[in-house]
A = this chain, B = another copy of it.
Amino acid sequence: MNDLFLRACRREPVERPPIWIMRQAGRYLPEYRELRKKVDFVTLCKTPELATEATLQPIDRLGVDAAILFSDILVPAEAMGFKVDFNPGPVLDRAVRSAADVDAVRTPDAGEVAPYVYEAVRQIRRALDGRVPLIGFAAAPFTLAVYLVEGKGSKSFDRIKQMLFAEPALAHRLLDKIATLTEGYLLEQIRAGAQAVQLFDSWAGLLGPREYREFALRYARRVLDALRSAGVPRIYFALNNAHLLEDLRECGADVVGMDWRVPLDVATARLEHRFALQGNLDPCALMAPPATIRALAHDIVERGRTAPGHVFNLGHGILPDTPVEHAQALVEAVRESAR
C-alpha cells in the first residue's frame, strides 16, 4: 500500500510529499461529468456504488496518494431535520434563528446520521484494495452552524455573526448539538474504514480571534479530541486562517490545512513546528501553463520541508474548468520532487 499520506500526517519520514486534491472527484474530470449526466449530486452522494465510482476516478486518472470520500459537508443536516438542495450551492428549507429553532434541531444517534455514507466508506475501501488510504470528512461545527443559520451560502454571513454577538448563549446551544452529532458521525466513518479524517472549517476565517476561539476553535477541538483515541490522522482545515495561526496551535489536530495565503514556511514557524501542514497551491494557479505550475509546486515543496510533515494539496477545491492535464502536471511535479 502507498502509505506516504499517512506517514506524512504522522510526521514520519517520507521520500516525497504525498499529494491529493480537494474536490479531486469533480467537474474538471470528464468521467465525473459523464456520471453527473446520469444522476444529480444528491443521488450521487446517497448511492454508495456511485459514490465509490466517483471517489476512485481521480485515483485512476491522476495517481494521487489519497482518496477522499465523495460526499458533502451538508449531508448531516438532513438527519438534523433539514431538507438540503444544491443549486449549485447548498440551500436549506429553513434557517435556524430562534431558541425554538435550535430546540427543533434533531441529534439522532451516529449510526442513523447517514448510513449510506458508512456503506460508501466500506465499499470504497474494498474497491481501493489498499492502493491508497481513504479520508473521511465532516464540516466543523461552526461551519455547519453557518449554513443552518444563514439557510444558504452567503457573501457576508451577517446572520450567524449577529447571533454570536447578540445571542451568544443560543449560538452555544446550537454548536453543542452540532459538535455532539459530528463526533459520532466521524467516529462511524472511521469504524466503517476511513483511515484519516478532515474537519472543514470553511467559514472560520470570517471571525475575529475572540469569536473564533469562543465559537469555532472550541467546538472543532472538541470533535478532534473525541477522535484522538480512534488513532487515525486528523486534519483541520480552516480557510482564510492567517489571523488565527497562533490560536490554531490549540486546535488538537495532527495536520493543519493551509489555503494559499500564508507560505508554508511562515505558517510552520507561527505554528511552532507542532503540526504537519497540508497545502497550499492557489487553485487558480492550475490555469497557468504547466511550466509555471511546476515552478510554483516546487516552491511549495521547498517551503513544506520546513514543517514536521507536508501533504501537498491545493489551498481550496479544484476549479471545474481546470484542464485535466494541468492537474496531472501538478501531480507529476510533486512526484518528481523526490528526485
Contacts and interface: CB of A to CB of B under 8 A. Distances in A.
If over half of A's interface residues share one DSSP class (helix, strand or loop), that class is named, otherwise mixed; here it is loop
A284 B154 CA distance: 15
A287 B163 CA distance: 8
A166 B242 contact: no
Interface string A225-265: 00000000000000010110000000000000000111100
A284 B242 contact: no
A325 B240 CA distance: 33
A208 B240 contact: no
Contact of A261 (B155, B243, B287): B243
Contacts of A289: 166
Given A155-B155, A158-B319, A242-B243, A165 B285 contact: yes
Taken together, the copies of this chain in the complex come to 2
Contact of A161 (B208, B263, B282, B292): B282
A242 B285 CA distance: 21
Given A153-B155, A243-B242, A261 B165 contact: no
A209 interface: yes
A43 interface: no
A278 to B, nearest CB: 16
Nearest to A282: B208
A164 interface: yes
Contacts of A98: none
Nearest to A263: B209
B261 A208 contact: yes
Contacts of A261: 205, 208-209, 243
Contacts of A166: 287-289
A2 interface: no
A162 B284 contact: yes
A145 to B, nearest CB: 15
A167 to B, nearest CB: 9
Contacts of A240: 205, 240
Nearest to A262: B243
A140 B251 CA distance: 36
B319 A208 contact: no
A248 to B, nearest CB: 13
Given A208-B261, A263-B209, A158 B242 contact: no
A239 B260 CA distance: 16
A292 to B, nearest CB: 7
Contacts of A284: 158, 161-162, 164-165
A240 to B, nearest CB: 7
Closest 4 CB pairs of A and B: A242-B243, A161-B284, A242-B242, A243-B261
20 contacts: A153-B155, A156-B319, A158-B321, A161-B287, A162-B284, A164-B284, A165-B282, A165-B284, A165-B285, A165-B292, A166-B287, A205-B240, A205-B261, A208-B260, A208-B261, A208-B282, A209-B263, A211-B282, A243-B261, A243-B262
